[in-house]
Chain A
Amino acid sequence: MIFMKMTSTTKTAVVATLALALLAVFCPAVLHAEPPVTSSTVQLNVAGAGPRSVEDLTEHTIARDYDAAWKSMAQAFAQGSAAPLSAYFTGSAKTALAKAVKSQQQSGLRSQYTNQSHKLRAIFYAPEGDAMELQDTAEFDFQLMDGDKVVHQEHTVLHYVVLMTPSSDRWMVRRLESVPGVGEKEVSSAQP
């Protein structure tokens, strides 16, 4: 009844406010300039690691730090800045990813890795505990954007071979290499 008595300008303002409120509730990402928060899960299996058996604390730390590494990588690509890589990447992995981030930024591109899940399997743990090699079956949503235009998006399952080495208080990713794997599946779509 009150709505009927309003002028058309007031009605438009009310509708716009309601629309914005609904948008804020149901689609908060649209109203934020920040890249979407990347959630991820990491499952680590150390049963096949050798020659050294993986200590409980190391197992926990590896899963935690690998998860953090992927989050920092997603952040670096989303923001177009290599700075987040320094915390969990070192050596050639850090160099390669930093180059990728820089060249994407120079080309006006942006990548987003979201909804990650990782099934990690430790396959080698050095006799003195100073290096670990793992295989990761990673599943995530990937988007490639040119400016604000999405040129490619896919939900993909990729296999990675990962080399991690300990630093003072964490395990760092020293090498992260995607490899062709059995059962790789890929569903891609493009939005011009």
Chain B
Amino acid sequence: MWSSINTASMRHSSRLFAFGICFLFLAQLCFGQELRTPATATAGTSISLATAGTGSATLYLVGPSSALKKTVQLGEDVTLPAESVRSAGRYLAVLCSGSCESASFFVTAAAPAELSFLVHPSRVPVDRQNAISGAAFIFDKFGNLVFSPLTVNFQLLSGKSEITSREVPAHDGIAWFRANSGKQTGPVRVVASTGGHSTDQVVAQVASDPCNLRIDAQSTAKNIVVQTQPVRDCSGNPVPDGTIVTFTRRGPDGLSTVDAPIKKGIARAEMTPSGPAVVTAASGVVMGNEIHVGH
């Protein structure tokens, strides 16, 4: 008895449930709203959101740099002007009329239009391994990082002649390089270019450490004058004026040193004679020849 009542009751409930589902489905079909967004869109191009249903609804659109709320007519497409979708990223559209429905879509960067270029250092000694480095960040005209596969060409130019050049594929909007410095002093233009757009930075190549430091000595009535031959780096570039050369005299009275800056390529110092002595010179980590004076 109880089981037959329960079975009948369950059948009744099932029918009611099925009826309810059908009613809700039909109600949604006849009176509900529907929102369709593009799968993807490109920054700076107008897009359309398709709506279905009847009557009016409120559309909310929230993007990386914008938000809007507007009343729309269901069944009509909503066109978003190019200005409102300039930022790449996720946009969330919510359509409310009684109930709310949402959809999201991604806006991707437009074509590359700008390169942001970091180059180090601003001054570099000549003939150094991997001494110059740079990273280029690829942006579209709205400042969005461009993630599409691109190749960046890095060039090092001294005057009009090319020191080195290489093509580097960009990953996640970034390409980077390392390069040796050239052998001659002077400004070097480091150029990054992609898709017809380029930018550059200037690196000053300066002489490296002195190489083959050689000194001569001359005795005068009162002093001994020691001076270097023109000081150059190992690539033959004159070492800049102001570079310090240290002269050391080792004699019976002990050790004495004189620091002298290079002027017009030559460093010069005067030392007081006090018997036989050995004079040497050094600049940075480079030692020069020894000369014997007063013998």
Chain A interfacial positions (CB closer than 8 Å to B): 51, 92, 95-97, 99-100, 103-104, 107-109, 111, 123-124, 126-128, 130-131, 133, 135, 144, 146, 151-152, 154, 158, 161, 163, 175-180, 186, 188, 190-192
CA distance A1 to B1 in the complex (A): 47
| CB of B80, distance to nearest CB on chain A (Å) | 13
In the assembled complex, which residues on chain B have CB atoms less than 8 Å from the CB atom of A158?
90
CA distance A151 to B96 in the complex (A): 7
* Residue from A123, A127, A135, A177 within 8 A of B135 (CB atoms): A127
Produce 1/0 per residue, B53-91, CB < 8 A to A. Answer: 000001010111111110000000000000000011110
Produce 1/0 per residue, B96-118, CB < 8 A to A. Answer: 10111110101000000000001
* Residue from A99, A130, A192 within 8 A of B66 (CB atoms): A99
| CB of B287, distance to nearest CB on chain A (Å) | 32
B100, A109: Cβ atoms closer than 8 Å:
no
* Chain B interface main SS type: strand
A144, B94: Cβ atoms closer than 8 Å:
yes
Q: B133 contacts the other chain (Cβ, under 8 Å)?
A: yes
Q: B238 contacts the other chain (Cβ, under 8 Å)?
A: no
B62, A161: Cβ atoms closer than 8 Å:
no
B99, A144: Cβ atoms closer than 8 Å:
no
In the assembled complex, which residues on chain B have CB atoms less than 8 Å from the CB atom of A130?
118, 120
**B residues 115-173 with Cβ under 8 Å of A?**
118, 120-121, 133, 135, 137, 143-145, 147, 171-173
In the assembled complex, which residues on chain B have CB atoms less than 8 Å from the CB atom of A163?
137, 145
A–B Cβ pairs within 8 angstroms, 10 of them: A96-B65, A100-B64, A100-B65, A107-B60, A107-B69, A109-B60, A124-B176, A179-B147, A190-B102, A192-B96
* Residue from A126, A144, A191 within 8 A of B62 (CB atoms): A144
Q: When A92-B143, A130-B118, A178-B90 are in contact, do A151 and B100 touch as well, CB less than 8 Å?
A: yes
CA distance A96 to B67 in the complex (A): 11
Q: B15 contacts the other chain (Cβ, under 8 Å)?
A: no
